[in-house]
Amino acid sequence: MLSAHEPFETYPALIREAAHEAGGVAQVAGGVPAMCDGVTQGQPGMELSLFSRDVIAMAAGIGLSHNMFDAAVYLGVCDKIVPGLAIAALTFGHLPAVFIPAGPMTTGLPNDEKAKVRQLFAEGKVGRDELLEAESKSYHGPGTCTFYGTANSNQMLMEIMGFHLPGA
């Protein structure tokens, strides 16, 4: 549903194929709920953003609770999903685990250009159509949010701790 998570759509099939080629079997143990602060700002339920980490941890834990797995691969992006999955991984610390991020987002319209159009709109020098066009162009592509916020710092922390491959 969210652009940040879009790359993961095909990952389960790719992981299954890679495991099969290596002589193993891969199964999807479960999925976790996700919300994006950029999408849910001002919407009902936004106050649940940080609480969702606990729900994510429990959902992943329930998926792993069947004692059927030799390892776990966690697909996560964002400052709610990654910490929630890390909590689940620590709960099931006896299972080797790796985290796979969605990769960095491609950028949209640069912030200084977007700010210029917003300023011109506030001054009445451009209309609503121009403003909406600039706002639409500013949206980014799939992957980890590009702004230097907690989504990026979570991804960097996972890499620093050795849970992501370098440069992920």
Q: What is the pTM of this model?
A: 0.77
Q: Which residue has the tokens 């030799």?
A: 70
Cα distance from N-terminal residue to C-terminal residue, the chain? 22
Q: Where are the domains of the chain?
A: 6-105+148-161, 107-140
Give the CA dihedral 24, 28, 29, 34, nearest 10 degrees. 140
Task: Give dist(CA 76, CA 114) in Å, integer.
Answer: 29
> For 141-167, how does the pLDDT look when each residue is reduced to its tens digit (9 = 90+)?
777 776 666 777 888 888 888 888 777
Say which CATH class 6-105+148-161 falls into.
alpha beta
Give the CA dihedral 37, 49, 60, 86, nearest 10 degrees. 80
67: left (phi over 0), alpha (psi -120 to 50) or beta: left
> For 32-85, how does the pLDDT look when each residue is reduced to its tens digit (9 = 90+)?
877 777 677 788 888 888 888 899 999 999 999 988 999 999 998 888 888 899
**Beta bridge pairs of residue 104:** 144
Give the DSSP letter of residue 104.
B
